[in-house]
Structure 1
Amino acid sequence: MKELFLILTLLLTTNAFSQDGIMLSQENANEKGITPMWPKCDRSRQTPIQCFNNQLRTHIIKNFEYPEVARKEALEGTVNVEFMIDKKGKVEILEVTGAHRYLQQEGIRIIRRIPKMEPAKWGNKPIAIVYKVPITFLKPQ
């Protein structure tokens, strides 16, 4: 009886991990050393996670534009953009919170411009990773 229970338990756990819907948070993915591969990070001397984080930071800085409407209205604040790099390596916006909607729209625009990349993999299966990035807008002088 114990053997039958053990076999059933092993079969059920294997099926639970073999589902296609695996999605990890950035923290869990980093703990396991799993990350999407930003273009050209495969040739970097940095670890894939370090390269991804640096490329994301550079991408945000390079693409940042203070919205003219927000500038005129002297709007500022922090926008939190939660997004996913899906199993195909494409960006999907999940949630945007904080600050004014004009600033939120700029945060969305920046994140949507992230290039397509090689998706993260769990073993040989591509998986989705969820990220949350704060973007702070300080009114220009």
Structure 2
Amino acid sequence: MKRTLLILTLLLSGISFSQDAIILSQENANEKGITPLWPKCDRSRQTPTQCFDQKLRNHIIQNFEYPEIAMNEGLSGTVTVEFIINKKGKVEVLEVTGAHRYLQREAIRIIRAIPKMKPGKWGEKPIAVAYTVPITFRKPQ
């Protein structure tokens, strides 16, 4: 009986972790032509990947605010944010590393402000795509 339960548990866990949990890295997604579609990139002359990269860069620049407390304490450094654009086109922050926590909070705020977009698709199926973005904080002179 115990052996049967063990086999049944292993079979069910294998089914539950099947293809629904696939997350492609940015490099793999770019190679396969699977990129989330940033709003208005469908009307761009650029490729979806180029448009996504440009819009992300512009988003970070436009939403960047040096935290006042970090400025007062003379904090600077690079924060690396790992996030995914999930199967629904929404941002999910996975991990944040580097620099001080005040700078990390600002980097998270910037990334979470990314607008909802059309998710990347593998065939007709939406798929999550992972990104890693470094954001450098240099204290203004």
Unaligned runs of 5+ in 2: 1-14
> CA-to-partner distance for each residue in 1:24-57, whole Å, 9 max, x for gaps?
0001101111100000000000000000000000
Q: Is 1:47 equivalent to 2:47 in the alignment? A: yes
Q: Measure how far apart 1:19 and its partner are.
A: 2.0
Q: Distance in 2 between matches of 1:31 and 1:92?
A: 22
Identity of aligned residues (%): 77
Q: Is 1:74 equivalent to 2:62 in the alignment? A: no
Q: Is 1:65 equivalent to 2:65 in the alignment? A: yes
TM-score, reference length from structure 2: 0.87
The size of the alignment, in residue pairs, is 125
Unaligned runs of 5+ in 1: 1-14
Partner of 2:134: 134
Q: Measure how far apart 1:20 and its partner are.
A: 1.9
Q: Distance in 2 between matches of 1:19 and 1:55?
A: 29
- Superposition RMSD in Å: 1.1
Partner of 1:85: 85
Q: Distance in 2 between matches of 1:32 and 1:78?
A: 30
TM-score, reference length from structure 1: 0.87
